[in-house]
Amino acid sequence: MLGFVNAFKPAGPTSTQFGARLRRFYHDPAGKLAIGHLGTLDPQAAGVLPIALGKATRLLPLIVDRRKGYVCTLVLGRATATGDAFGTTVAERPVPDDAVQRLAGAIPAFIGAVSQVPPMYSAVKSDGKRLYELARAGKTVERTARTITVYALQVLGCEGNVVRLRIACSEGTYVRTLCEDLALACGTVGHMGALLREASGPFVLSESRTLDEIERDPDGALVPPERVIPIPTVVLDGRGATDFRAGRMVPLAQPPADKHVFVRDSTRALVGIGETVGALLAPRKVFL
């Protein structure tokens, strides 16, 4: 098994629970099929959850595009312990009448490189422990700020104290923290309400499939690696494919311009990822 699935995760299950359900559709009764995620989703979040199956998990580092796209709601006037709608209330503050105007004026400062402190309720580790484990134990620790990038931030509408936002950002962005910071810029406190991921790298919402759709057509839901990673393909003859599988360099008559290439044998079976070294092709990932 080697491929990707552009899955639509509903709100509720964790990414791991969702992946375990999906695994059953790919003829692996023992449950040993490797599964990897291109960025997980919190249980309460819905949307695009790209999943690598089998040997495709070894290709995840080659996916260069790690940008994310979200639509969310920002709820003004109430801050929560977790930064989302499921946390206990930790602060309440009146919402200024001109909050939306303040938000519009503050948005330019949130575009580009932004310093962000990971929330306590996150999977970041501190001294070997996940922050959310410490937070559940009532502990708060110092966290190092990270630089993330917000490519676009748009107000889609407003109803009462709830603002709808569309966000395009880099990997590692905490939308909950961004919502809290935006609320402060409006002169109040706030938290993230609903969250929908519209895109994760090359995977987009319009092409995602629900679990029911994947179960009806598992093979049709598989996305080949070439559609995810934009590198060329080199086809080797029998001897060349044998040498490549054995870890030996293979001479190329016409070396491609790209550094990395997919390598297929004469039957068009994917045998690995190669790296061009002059006129030679060096095995970097071999699929036996």
Q: Is 243 a catalytic residue?
A: no
Beta strands in the chain (DSSP E): 2-9, 35-37, 46-54, 68-76, 78-80, 89-92, 112-116, 125-126, 129-130, 146-159, 162-169, 190-200, 203-204, 222-223, 233-235, 250-251, 260-264, 270-277, 280-286
* CB-CB contact of 150 with 144 (8 Å): no
SS3 219: helix
Helix spans in the chain (H): 15-23, 99-106, 131-136, 175-185, 211-216, 218-221, 238-245
Separation of alpha carbons 56 and 65, rounded Å: 16
Separation of alpha carbons 200 and 8, rounded Å: 11
> Which entry of 42, 84, 181, 265 is annotated as an active-site residue?
42
Separation of alpha carbons 36 and 81, rounded Å: 30
Give the residue numbers annotated as catalytic, written as ranges.
Answer: 42
